[in-house]
Structure 1
Amino acid sequence: MQQVQSVILDIDGTLIDSNDAHAKAWVRALERNDIHVPFEQVRPLIGMGGDKVLPEVAGTEKESEKGKRISSMRKQIFLHDYVPHLRAFPKTRELLQHLREQRLRLAIATSAEPDELQTLLRVIDTQASKYFEEQTSSQDASQSKPDPDIINATLQRSGFDPAHTLMFGDTAYDIEAAGKAGIKTIAFRCGGWSDKDLQGAIAIYNDPANLLAHFDTSPLKQGF
């Protein structure tokens, strides 16, 4: 039985209710480039970065001229039209505070771009950065989830021991990426994925509030 010493957290769909907003921003950016892809096709891809989404829905690479144009539009749409309306899931701030009170070390690992990450953190709390020792984002990895690059970068920068670290995520991509880096995952349903999709996790909770309510019986307290 391993005791938890540190936690690596995803943010979109895990701490903040933003997955639908990301998908809508992609759909609108694609439409502005005469690529018509339904929301239902894009939504299951959220959790991966643009390096994975663009080849799938637009047949182009993120670093191509077309890919850069679409990515830039998506980002502008997301930040301008959707971020002002985003909310953290219930008890997110309280969960982060409790984790720190339990002397657990925390880090963020996300496919979001660095400035998007800072904006998202402010949705949780204007001082949310204080909870995290490290923040890794798309600029820190050549490949986004489900490749393990971002998780590995977080481990390297933080010095977390994988054997005593858990991942918080909401998608199968989080679970796969963490697994490739030697880390087990606690999954949340609030990102919109089914229990079947999340079956690789060691525990599944509805949302941060649900985990906080059952903290003492969770792997965070009991070990794994």
Structure 2
Amino acid sequence: MKPGVLFDVDGTLIDTTYLHAVSWWEALRQYDHDVPMALIHRGIGMGSDKLLDHLLGEGEDRDRSADEEMGTAHDVLYGAWWERLRQLPGAADLVRAVAARDLAVVLASSAKKAELGKLRQVLGADDVITAATSSADAEESKPAPDILEAALAQSDVDPARAVYVGDSVWDVQAAGKLGIPCIGLVCGGTSSAELLEAGAAATYENPAALLRDLDASPIAQIA
């Protein structure tokens, strides 16, 4: 087994968090659910099943008959943005710098396979990526640790010599359940204070800021 860095992708490497929030807002409105966008944003990073429970209620009496249709509506609305997706500052450079330190680079993404393909295309660093997960690899979505467990298994990365980089409290919580240090990036719209309160080992503005401080970051401790 080897050391490695697991990366969330949406909101961490690619600037998608608010596009997901807007797409969910519109999808929910199509089904007569008027949910403030700020509340939706706070749930981004969960799987769609947990997000809808988070926003609309977790009780047994909630009508879930339209959940799949709302998820499909989100996917269609979000898909309209695919050709305009952009990296966050320093994303590809950070991934390459990690690989240059002989650390495995693993994309621990919960995106669907087709969407993940587009995200990888935007990142443009496939030549240094050891493994990448999609939603099909996890039985339960974040904050459950399933996707991280799948990423570790696919890459043969030692959990004791791994660091996770994410942008949401759900990322931090998922990593914490496996005892993996999580670096929080605020470029997904969650504050440094919130990420630290959730248990992040360190926080940075964006991938470029983490790259500048790489030798003093938690990643340096596993290299």
Same fold (TM over 0.5): yes
Distance 1:36 1:211, change over 3 A: same
The equivalent of 2:4 in structure 1 is 6
In 2, Cα distance between the equivalents of 1:197 and 1:180?
18
Match of 1:191 among 181, 185, 188: 188
CA contact (8 A) 2:184 2:204 kept: yes
Question: In the alignment, does 2:93 pair up with 1:94?
Answer: yes
Match of 2:133 among 120, 136, 139: 136
The 3-state SS of whatever aligns with 1:42 is helix
Deviations 1:114-166 (A, max 9, x none): 211111122222xx333322111211112111111111111122221111000
Q: After TM superposition, give the deviation of residue 201 of structure 1 in Å.
A: 1.4
Question: In the alignment, does 2:91 pair up with 1:106?
Answer: no
The equivalent of 2:52 in structure 1 is 54
Amino acid aligned to 1:98: A
In 2, Cα distance between the equivalents of 1:36 and 1:198?
27
Amino acid aligned to 2:10: D
Q: Which runs of 5+ in 2 are unaligned?
A: none
Query: What percent identity do the matched residue pairs reach?
Result: 38
With 110-119 and 51-60 compared, the bigger mean Cα shift is at: 51-60
In 2, Cα distance between the equivalents of 1:104 and 1:121?
19
The equivalent of 1:206 in structure 2 is 205
The equivalent of 2:71 in structure 1 is 71
The 3-state SS of whatever aligns with 1:84 is helix
CA contact (8 A) 1:51 1:143 kept: no
Question: In the alignment, does 2:159 pair up with 1:162?
Answer: yes
RMSD over aligned CA atoms reads 1.9
The 3-state SS of whatever aligns with 1:8 is strand
The equivalent of 1:32 in structure 2 is 30
Deviations 1:87-137 (A, max 9, x none): 111111111111111111011112221211111122222xx3333221112
The 3-state SS of whatever aligns with 2:26 is helix
Q: After TM superposition, give the deviation of residue 210 of structure 1 in Å.
A: 0.6
In 1, Cα distance between the equivalents of 2:55 and 2:84?
26
The equivalent of 1:44 in structure 2 is 42
Amino acid aligned to 2:69: R
Amino acid aligned to 2:66: K
Amino acid aligned to 1:71: G
The 3-state SS of whatever aligns with 1:143 is coil
Moved over 3 A (4+): 58-61
The equivalent of 2:149 in structure 1 is 152
In 1, Cα distance between the equivalents of 2:54 and 2:213?
38
The 3-state SS of whatever aligns with 1:164 is strand
Q: Which runs of 5+ in 1 are unaligned?
A: none
For this pair of structures, how many residues does the alignment match? 216
Q: After TM superposition, give the deviation of residue 172 of structure 1 in Å.
A: 1.0
